[in-house]
Amino acid sequence: MNKNILTKITIHLLLLLFVVVWVLPTFGLFVSSFRDKDLLATSGWWTTFKTNEVNEIYRTKTFEDQIEENGKFFIKGNLLDKNSRKKIISYGISSKEMNKYKVNEKAILKNKTQIEISENGEYQWKSEVPFKHKRGKRIFITALSPPKFTLENYKEVLFKEGVGQAFLNTLTVAIPSTIIPLIICSFFAYALSWMKFRGRDTLFALIVASLVVPLQMCLIPLLSIYNDVGALFNIGAKSYPGVWMAHTGFGLASTTFLLRNFIKSLPSEMIEAARVDGATHYDIFLRIIIPLSVPAFASVFILQFLWVWNDLLVGLIFLDQVPSEIILTAKLRELLGSRGENWEILTTGAFVSMTVPLFIFFALQRYFIRGLVAGSVKG
Partner 1 sequence: MTTTSFFLYVFLGIVVCFSYFHLSNLALDFFSQKNSNNFLKKSVLRPYIFIAPAVIILVIFILYPVVETLRLSFFNKTGFEFVGIKNYIWAAKDPEFKRAILNNLGWLLVVPTLSAFFGLVIAYLADRLWWGTIAKSIIFMPMAISFVGAGVIWKFVYDYRGPGDDQIGFLNAVVVSLGFEPQAWMTIPIWNNLFLMAIMIWIQTGLAMVIFSAALRGIPKEMIEAARIDGASEFKIFTSIIIPYLEKTILVIWTIITILVLKIFDIILAMTNGQWNTEVLANLMYDWMFRGGGDSGRGSLMAIVIMIGVIPIMIWNIRRHKEDEKS
Partner 2 sequence: MQKLFLSKGGKMKFFKIILMVAIANLFALSNAISGNYKGPDLSGEKVVISGPWLAPQDEQFRKVIKAFTDATGATVEYGGSDSFEQQIIIDVKAGSPPNLAIFPQPGLAANVAALGGLTPLGNDMKNWVLKNYAAGQSWVDLGTYPDKNGKKDFFGFFYRVNVKSLVWYSPDNFSDNGYTVPKTMEELISLTEKMASDGNTPWCIGLGSGDATGWPATDWMEDIMLRTHKPAVYDQWVTNEMPFNDKRVIEAMDFFGSFAKNDKYVSGGSKAVATTDFRDSPKGLFSSPPKCMMHRQASFIPAFFPEGVKAGQDYDFFYFPSYSTKDLGNPVLGGGTLFAITKDSKATREFLNYLGHPQSNEIWMAIDGSGFLNPNKLIDLSKHSSDTFRGLNQILLNATTFRFDGSDLMPGAIGAGSFWTGMVDYTSGKSAKEVADKIQASWDAIK
User: Minimal CA–CA distance to 92: which of 135, 142, 127?
Assistant: 142
d(CA 113, CA 102): 17
Q: Write the binding mask 99 to 138 for partner 2: x where contact by CB under 8 A, - elsewhere.
A: ------------------------------------xx-x
Polymer length in residues for the chain: 379
How far apart CA 160 and CA 323 sit, in angstroms, is: 12
Nearest to 375 by CA among 256, 266, 276: 256
Question: Rounded to the nearest whole angstrom, what is the least distance from the CB of residue 304 to partner 2 in the complex?
Answer: 25
- What is the distance of C-alpha 341 from the center of its chain? 15
Query: Looking at beta carbons only, is 127 or 304 nearer to partner 1?
Result: 304
> Quick check: 317 binds partner 2 (CB under 8 A)?
yes
Instruction: Pick what 33 binds: partner 2, partner 1, none; C-beta below 5 to 8 Å, kind-dependent.
Output: none
Residues 236-255 that bind partner 1 (CB under 8 A): 240-241, 244-246, 248-250, 252-253
Task: Please pick, from the candidates 104, 338, 365, 376, the single residue that binds partner 2 as defined by CB under 8 A.
Answer: 338
Residues 335/351, Cβ–Cβ less than 8 Å: no
Does 263 sit near partner 1 (CB under 8 A)?
A: no
Task: Please list, residue by residue across 253-291, b when 16 or more beta carbons sit within 10 angstroms of its beta carbon and e when fewer do.
Answer: bbbbbbbbbbbeebeeeebeebeeeebebeebbeebbee
Pairing of the two strands 87-92 and 114-117: unpaired
**With CB cut-offs between 5 and 8 Å by kind, which of partner 1, partner 2, none does residue 98 bind?**
partner 2
Per CB under 8 A, 214 contacts partner 2: no
Which positions from 320 to 339 touch partner 1 by CB under 8 A, shown as an x/- string?
Answer: ----xx--xx--xx--x---
- Dihedral Cα 155, 336, 174, 163, nearest 10 deg: 20
**Residue 347 interacting with partner 1 (CB under 8 A):** yes
241 near partner 2, rule: CB under 8 A: no
Written as one letter, the residue type at 99 is: N
- Letters for 30-69 (x = contact with partner 1 by CB under 8 A, - = none) are --x-------xxxxxxx-----------------------
Query: Applying CB under 8 A, which residues contact partner 2?
Result: 55-57, 59, 94-96, 98, 135-136, 138, 140, 161, 219-220, 223-224, 226-228, 230-231, 236-238, 316-317, 320-326, 333-334, 336-341
